[in-house]
Amino acid sequence: MKRLIPFLLLSLLAGCETTTVPENSITPILTHSGGQTQGDATSLYWYSFQQNRPVKLAEVVTAGDYGSYQSDYRWREGKLREIKRIGLQLSDETLKPFSLHVRYDTQGSAVFQRNTVDGSVLPLTNSQLYQLTQQADNAIRVVKQQRKNDQSLVQGYWQGNRFLRCGDEKPLEVSFQPDLSDFSAQQLSQQSQSSFMVVTGKVRKNKLVASQLLILSEEDQDCISPPALLDK
């Protein structure tokens, strides 16, 4: 299934739930992870917040033949102030590189924008700008809901009937609730070598209860880390 092909140009490290260094001495910045598959698109999210206000959102999205991208969003004092995204998008039946960078003022107006597709600079429409903010809001809703259900991203390598979690290579016994579809269950059972796998689920001791299979690939794939485009 092409929608399961991961974004191959990502760096090392696992996308597990983390607690980062406090931004100030009063309250820490917390990061929760999540993900979803809708149609051909599979999305992985890392959402950072402080005192229940958004601080940062990183995402990795793959959409099979339609392309793939990674994004970095940043808020200040609870207001979205900057977005950066790079990837490949389908244009004229060909995947072409693109990048966009948008900065907002305190009123939410896009005061700077640069959108480049295959080397050409193109304006972003109001509809496209609105879609960017809606995608951020949707990602945050997904992560918050999954967090309420005590779920997050879990990455690792499927070796026969054994799953080794990214980061600490801890072996976990895996079960799916709800059960996988017949197609996905057969695909998983037929893996004859080490395969990279990403799910949403919860870990208790040595057991992983997965709710959704997001990525399964036999490609030589590193664990996926959240992009940090705005830090470059």
* Same domain flag for 146 and 156: no
**Of 107, 124, 150, the domain-final residue:** 150
Report the alpha-carbon distance of residue 199 to residue 157 in Å, rounded. 11
Structure tokens at 167: 């980061």
Same domain, yes or no, for 170 and 141?
no
Residue 232 covered by a domain: no
Q: Please tell me whether residues 100 and 146 are part of one structural domain.
A: yes
154: left (phi over 0), alpha (psi -120 to 50) or beta: beta
Question: What does the pLDDT read at residue 197?
Answer: 94
Over residues 186-204, the pLDDT tens digits come to: 888 877 568 999 999 999 9
Looking at the fold, whether 14 and 27 belong to one and the same domain comes out as yes
Give a yes or no: residue 223 inside a domain: no
Is there a single domain that holds both residue 98 and residue 164? no
Residues 123 and 91 reside in one and the same domain = yes
The answer to the question of residue 166 being in a domain is yes
Residue 34, Cβ density class (10 Å: 0-12 exposed, 13-18 middle, ≥19 buried): buried
Angle at 77 between CA 87 and CA 30, to 5 degrees: 70
Count: domains in the chain:
2
**CB of 133 within 8 A of CB of 80?**
yes
Mind listing the pLDDT tens digit for each residue in 37-51? 998 999 999 999 999
Residues 23 and 125 in one domain: yes
pTM: 0.86
Is 206 exposed, middle or buried (CB count within 10 Å of its CB: 0-12, 13-18, 19+)? exposed
Q: Give the span between the Cα atoms of 33 and 45, in whole angstroms.
A: 5
Taking only the tens place, the pLDDT of each residue in 136-167 is 999 999 999 999 999 999 999 988 778 999 98
Residue 231 inside a domain? The answer is no
Is residue 36 assigned to a domain? yes
83 and 145 both lie in a single domain = yes
